[in-house]
Structure 1
Amino acid sequence: MTHELTRTGPGLSRRGLLQLAGAGAVLLGSAGCGTPERAGAGGAAFVYGRGADAVSLDPMNQTDSESYAVIHQVFDSLLRYAPDGALLPALATAVPAPEDNGRQYTFELREDVRFHDGTPLDAEAVVFNFRRWRESDHPYHRGGGPQSSKFAYYANLFGGFDEESVISRVEAVGPHAVRFTLREPYGPFLPTLAGAQFGIASPTAIRQDVEGFWERPVGTGPFALASWEHGNKITLRRNESWWGTRQAGPGRRVDTVVLTSIPDSTARVAALVGGGLSAVNGIVPQDADALRETAGFTVAQHPQECFSYFAMNTRRAPFQNPLVRKAIAHAIDLPRIVEHFFGARAEVAGAPLYGISTFVDRSIRPHPYDPGLARRLLAEAGMPGGFRTSLWYMSTARPYMPDGKGVAQVVQANLAEVGIAAELVTYELATYVERTGKGMHDIAMFGGTTIGVDSYFPLNYWYAGASATPENSSNLSFFQNPQVDALLAEARVTTDPEEQRALYATVQRIVHDEVPVLPIAYVSPPIALRSGFAGFGTNIAMDDLDALTV
């Protein structure tokens, strides 16, 4: 039996896009944005439409990509990623070499760098940030807002807080020099520090109001926060004294960046065509194709830096049984879903890892669509008549999931064909993240975006037993496998690339065979822009905004 692929709305033709132009200004008015041309004297504004607002702008207390996109503009880390994934210095003057057989690293910091509030960046500021994150009894080991992740990134990446942390000591060894001492060699140490969650914050601002820092962040980045109207828009102003130097093209530079939240994809496209937005993300493939054919617009395509998946909660019946999880994997028609909802530039995922990761194992093939096999597996599991469950989906477009409701409706129909009745459940993004982190779901749609090529972090973040915490869990399947944990622990202290490749491949194979998550797609998300903007890169973190001109 076949089924009809459905969407939350029809794909737009070129004629349809033009018809939306008149509605765009009205929709944009309700979103609270002005036109892209209005900014401060001599400068232009870049108004970016996205599906959801940020959750927290305290770098180590957020876990969502919408927060990450803003944090990337406001903060700098010690290191950063080049577009090809190579490590580059940021607040550090160079990428340091390991000392003491990989147990120490010394970072020389840039001089004459200041935070947005005028506080100088020095070694003590870096030490303050790392102690705040690492020490559970630190007076400022708190904050992050009402939906704080409670420093979950740090605990996940470095094994925990206090004595459990891989980092045993952080000390100033000069006015602009910081030394890290590790309990053991840690292969992913330098790539980890390039993440935006390790953005260095102003100690002055944190001491003044640690509980309010999540909505009034102060960093050293190319843009500073001007205002945040929660649920509506975030406005950033250019940091004139930023330390970085990037070559800007001809024309007026962008002095103001406005990130506005428009949950509906069609409304975002309408606002773009109507002239009120400079760019939008989270658009479905059909609308991206129509914009490519419409004068005055361009569509930038990312590499496969996004990965989407379904997590099956192995703490709940009947998902403790791998036969049930395998049945679901064979019941879902992923090729048709990916073709229809993600476009020709996406790929059905086999390995449970980002498509651009250095050690992704491309030999792992997706679970084939086979409803007959799914029924036989359910019968073998003692459930020939199927069962009832819930399927959670994301209500707003994400770079890795442009139409969560549409995908969920098709999956619901797929599961019904093999006797599984799935109730669809959704929440606004922040609540969705919070509740899935507590394991309140049966099957949940999720995913992620990366700007680097490191493999340890996502594998550990999604599949390690220690990542399955009672709250703020990043392991949304709550998968527990001692062999996976042992392999990741070994990979963590290994610096030989071929040894790492073998260890990570085995982890991916175990996850594929046990199916705690069902990979959906390696996604190359499109971003549509009004023509005229120069210097916009194709990185989801929008790390070239400081070089934009119009």
Structure 2
Amino acid sequence: MKLRSTLAVSAMALGLAGAASAQQTLIYCSEGSPEGFDPALYTAGTTFDASSHTIYNQLAEFETGTTNVVPGLAESWDVSEDGTQYTFNLRSGVQFHSNDQFTPSREFNADDVIHTFERQNGEGSWEYFNAMSMPDLIESIEKVDDMTVRFNLTRPESAFIANMAMDFASIVSAEYAAAMEEAGTPEMVNQQPIGTGPFTFVDYQTDAVIRYAANENYWQADLPKVDNLIFAITPDASVRLQRLQAGECHVMPYPNPADLEAIRSDDSLKMENQEGLNVGYLAYNTMEAPFDQPEVRKALNMAIDKQAIIDVIFQGEATAAKNPIPPTMWSYNESIEDDAYDPEAAQQMLADAGVEDLSMKIWAMPVQRPYNPNARRMAELIQEDFSEIGVDVEIVSYEWGEYLERSKAEDRDGAVLLGWTGDNGDPDNFLAVLLGCDAVGGSNRAQWCNEEFDALVQEAKTLPSQEERTPLYEEAQQIFKDQAPWATIAHSQVFMPLRSEVEGYVVHPLGGHLFDTVLLSE
């Protein structure tokens, strides 16, 4: 029997009519709005939390709290000796959700797996699929029988199983997609999502509230633990904390670093934290002059006072970043030396490169992320640093979805503040997805295609062991440092404040917020 919330259903204080007090309702004060509910179309954590972590499942999944891969919609898999064939044995008895427009006529099967991936190999904005070189990797997908699917690859891919556990690989219903196409409303797959996951989508009030209900037919026994899940979208961290303290939500992400001590001293709250598998960075547009010159990018990097950023923005709860992957990840190149903070040398380097009276834009995110709790203030600090070497900076921003979309443009003006939390625990998820040639115009916000770097990263993916792959990744990191497509800023600690009655929440190293195992004590 499920427990009742001890809160006086705080949903009412948020204007969340319909949350039944007789049931247990978990309220998550999320930091931003999802771009949509089809995770294959996007790369933002806010979208994944609202979609792939709640509504969907993948063939393989990451054990909550670790990067260990465990069975998901595939009960098991077999890999050919040469590493180019992966055969997935699918789980039987799994049901898709239904909604007012659609009721499935069958259970999950191989057709859904094939549809999920083949649709991403066609026209459309499949940013992750393309950035991971999937169109070149997947030669074909075979339906061996209704419950068996075989992926035929053009080359070995050491992280393929981990990739199948990622958000872009969330399994969607082929039958639902066909029904919506026939009805002339294909966009409903993204707006009224149907999956096999622990929660079913109920409704979404844009930029305000997302409601979910427990999936009563979920294939994992005794999950989820709560009857209802609500995302109360609350972009301001101070307001999120006020709501948490008032009992208007149970969980909040990304507190202001300045509030950490107050949270720790509040008896009604508790806080989980761990070192984040992340990096925050400033990506120059290397296709645009003068940022097409490595010397210019290096000069700007030398003008940034990273320690001041860590002290002011992170309140010391971060470490300076020198590489594009975090230091907790295997193959991290310890031997690389970071760019020294030296404004005088930076100014001279710009002059030597023939750059005078440089004006540029710095893009600042409108939402908090684990790798950047206050992008506007960070941009202001960098603006001050650059002014000391004669560079004039205009700070710009947009609504989060628009920011992500506009910042992909190959003709984007200026440098963009962004960051990344690893999705599968593999260096390829940073180096190829964020810096590879296939990701230019998408997740590679630096628009940087370096053939030597790309060849190393692509070759490393084909090797079977970490020992064989590590030297290639170490060399790739050195090329990155020499060419400086980014200013690497920081790797942060991740903090998650919770109400004291929340049980079963685990901070996930891959950055997702998962609620299927969470319940509320009396």
The two structures have a TM-score, normalised by structure 1, of 0.86
Match of 1:212 in 2: 188
Preserved CA contact (<8 Å) 1:335 1:348: yes
Question: Which of residues 71, 86, 96 in structure 1 aligns to 2:68?
Answer: 86
Question: Is 1:202 the equivalent of 2:173?
Answer: yes
Question: Is 1:69 the equivalent of 2:49?
Answer: yes
Structure-2 separation of matches of 1:246 and 1:316: 54
Question: Which of residues 44, 54, 58 in structure 1 aligns to 2:38?
Answer: 58
Change (3 A) 1:41 1:272: closer
Question: Which of residues 64, 85, 90 in structure 2 aligns to 1:109?
Answer: 90
Preserved CA contact (<8 Å) 2:283 2:485: yes
Question: Is 1:495 the equivalent of 2:476?
Answer: no
Structure-1 separation of matches of 2:455 and 2:296: 26
Question: Is 1:307 the equivalent of 2:284?
Answer: no
Question: Which of residues 127, 133, 136 in structure 1 aligns to 2:120?
Answer: 133
Q: How does 1:27-42 map to 2 (within 5 A)?
A: 32-33=15-16, 39-40=19-20, 42=22
Question: Which of residues 405, 424, 434 in structure 2 aligns to 1:434?
Answer: 405
Q: How does 1:394-543 map to 2 (within 5 A)?
A: 394-439=365-410, 440-469=412-441, 473-539=442-508, 540-543=511-514
CA shift for structure 1 position 322? 1.1
Q: How does 1:383-398 map to 2 (within 5 A)?
A: 383=355, 385-398=356-369
CA shift for structure 1 position 187? 1.8
Preserved CA contact (<8 Å) 2:502 2:518: no
The alignment's C-alpha RMSD in Å is 2.1
Paired AA for residue 84 in structure 2: R
Change (3 A) 1:93 1:405: same
Question: Which of residues 122, 130, 142 in structure 2 aligns to 1:155?
Answer: 130
CA shift for structure 1 position 451? 4.3
Question: Which of residues 301, 320, 345 in structure 2 aligns to 1:329?
Answer: 301
Identical counterparts, % of pairs:
27
Aligned length: 497
Change (3 A) 1:286 1:351: same
Structure-1 separation of matches of 2:178 and 2:234: 34
Match of 2:183 in 1: none
Residue deviations 1:148-181 (CA, integer Å, cap 9, x gap): xx11211221343xxxx31111112122111111
Preserved CA contact (<8 Å) 2:163 2:424: no
Preserved CA contact (<8 Å) 1:390 1:443: yes
CA shift for structure 1 position 41? 6.3
Question: Which of residues 296, 307, 325 in structure 2 aligns to 1:353?
Answer: 325
Change (3 A) 1:120 1:354: farther
SS at 2:503 equivalent: coil
Structure-1 separation of matches of 2:164 and 2:126: 15
CA shift for structure 1 position 128? 2.0
Paired AA for residue 234 in structure 1: I
Stretch of structure 1 that moved more, 271-280 or 425-434: 271-280
Structure-2 separation of matches of 1:30 and 1:420: 48
Moved segments of 4+, more than 6 Å? 27-30
SS at 2:286 equivalent: coil
Paired AA for residue 492 in structure 2: V
Structure-2 separation of matches of 1:435 and 1:264: 23
Structure-2 separation of matches of 1:518 and 1:29: 45
Structure-1 separation of matches of 2:208 and 2:312: 30
Paired AA for residue 122 in structure 1: N
Structure-2 separation of matches of 1:185 and 1:272: 47
CA shift for structure 1 position 489? 1.8
Structure-2 separation of matches of 1:461 and 1:40: 43
Preserved CA contact (<8 Å) 1:536 1:544: yes
